[in-house]
Amino acid sequence: MTIYTPRPIRFLGVVDGSACGVLNSKVKLYGVTAREGRQIPGWELIRAATLVAFDRLPKPAMPSISESPLSVAVACVHETKGPVFLLTGVWANENELRTSVVELNLQKPGGVISAGSSHMPLCTWDLAILAFERDAWVNTVLKNPTPAAIEAYFSHVLNALL
């Protein structure tokens, strides 16, 4: 077993799905890297992960709360010392986060090595993001379920060394 080493978790921005051909969708994008001396994954990984994240979202968009047509998701591209993983979670039915994890490979068409397996990992760093996002969703949206509350959710972001 290796000793736990903190990794930088960085908020990379809110990406509007219309830029990727997915209308009425927005994704809060995070990056985590295990690469020494880096704060975020490489930009080529971030670009590829963004496209894959939007490709994995439901089409048409699934409203996150009934008062809004907007589909809201969170995604994290995680550059480990080995493979690169993409975690996506789509808020649905107001209080559910429908998650999936895939391994990315930029040399493969579509960029995904494996999808749909129940054995894909959620590591401690990914879980920190999900815990933060859960609390942000409860405190901004579920306690005030309006379209304006969704915009408040986008302003709650995590930047930490965990």
For residue range 88-116, list pLDDT tens digits in order: 999 999 999 999 888 888 776 666 766 55
Distance CA 152, CA 37 (A): 32
For residue range 68-83, list pLDDT tens digits in order: 889 999 999 999 988 8
The per-residue DSSP string of 15-54 comes to EEGGGGT-TTEEEEEEEEE-STT-SS--HHHHHHHHHHHH
What region, left, alpha or beta, does residue 111 occupy, with left being phi > 0 and alpha being psi -120 to 50 degrees?
left
Sequence-distant (≥ 6) Cβ neighbours of residue 7 within 8 angstroms: 32, 33, 34, 125, 161, 162
Return the closest-CA partner of residue 41 out of 16, 12, 62, 67: 12
Share of the chain above pLDDT 90, in %: 62
Q: How many other CB atoms are found less than 10 A from the CB of residue 25? A: 26
Length, in residues, of the chain: 162
For residue range 44-58, list pLDDT tens digits in order: 899 988 988 898 888
Write down the pLDDT at residue 104.
86
Distance CA 159, CA 162 (A): 9
Q: Which two tokens stand for residue 111?
A: 């960029």
For residue range 7-66, list pLDDT tens digits in order: 999 999 999 999 888 899 999 999 999 999 999 999 989 998 898 889 888 888 888 988
Element (H, E) at 85: strand 84-92
pTM more than 0.85: yes
